[in-house]
Amino acid sequence: MSAADDVPDERAFLKFQGEELAEAWFENEGEQTTLIFRIRCDHFQDAEQRRRLTCENLLTAAAVASDEVESWQVGDASGTDIDLIEHLSSLPPGAKYLTIHVRMKLPRPEVPGEQEASLQQWQALEVMWKTILGLEASIDSSRLGMDGLRAEMETAFKRSMSVEEKLNALQSDVVQWNKSKTRVHHALPKVREFVHRATWALAQPERKKLEDVFKNDGEPRDRAISAQSVREQLEHLQKERQVLFAQGNAVYQECRGILGEIQRALGALQRNAADNARRKRSASREKGKHF
């Protein structure tokens, strides 16, 4: 895929340790699933940034386990592990993106002709279901944290300077503070989108059907249900949850960074304003001594 190719709307913007790492989305062709990462070259200009660009960090940011991966591919090169920095360095001048295809392992096939799954098979599927429940709990926790973060950002954005700060603040500090606050406008829509998706994730009809399947502790209500069909639904739901979790984590880290930037700018403004006020008072006292 070239940089000019269209990318799907349902993609996650991944971050690692607070820094943007890549865009990611899943593509399906038959039973085969491919996880695609698209990396902006201009995000990895210095050595410190490039050290973060590893296969392990990409999977961590996307909430994908390494044992789910069959192989990696960049251009004509493929394997179980690749040197992303080498491929990034070998791109032609002017290239904007490095695109990486991660081929996911196929689900384990069932024995031909076996329509009903054994209890052991269903217990294995129940483990997958519990993994999804764990992801959903993490997503819900992120949603609650995001609501609080949104309130903090709105409060920080609406804060105005006191009379003392207006009289003594440096113009450069005021400009920097206002500039940092404008980033709130770009982040809040992402917060609202994640909160909306996380809120309605549990209401999906497909998800409710799977919940009904696993109400009897690993033994389905209807033993004629195809285990392969349930496995496919579980894998699809798990990938959706992984992408949503990664999106929430990326948005949360971005918002924490914006809040931190606003607080640092405000702190600098307040310190310099206080220093300026003290200098003015000192100068006034010195002037009074000469009368």
Domain ranges in the chain are: 12-104, 119-289
- As averages over each run of 10 residues, the pLDDT of the chain (291 residues) reads 50 68 80 84 72 79 80 82 77 81 74 54 82 88 87 90 90 93 90 86 80 66 66 88 90 91 93 91 72 50
Tokens of 44: 């990895």
Which pTM was predicted? 0.54
pLDDT value, residue 89: 77
Interacting residues of 123 by C-beta distance below 8 A, sequence separation 6+: 218
- Amino acid 62: pLDDT: 77
* CA distance readout (Å), 10 to 72, 114, 228, 244: 22, 36, 26, 10
Residues 6+ apart with CB under 8 A from 140: 198
pLDDT of residue 17: 61
Q: Which of 117, 110, 192, 181 is nearest to 149 (CA)?
A: 192
DSSP notation for the chain: --TTS---SS-EEEEETTEEEEEEEEEEETTEEEEEEEEEGGG--SHHHHHT--HHHHHHHHT--GGGEEEEEETTEEESS--HHHHHHTSPTT--EEEEEEEEPPPPPPPTT--S--HHHHHHHHHHHHHHHHHHHHHHHHHHHHHHHHHHHHHHHH----HHHHHH--HHHHHHHHHHHHHHHHHHHHHHHHHHHHHHGGG-HHHHHHHHHTTTTTS-S-TTS-HHHHHHHHHHHHHHHHHHHHHHHHHHHHHHHHHHHHHHHHHHHHHHHHHHHHHHHHHHHHHHHT-
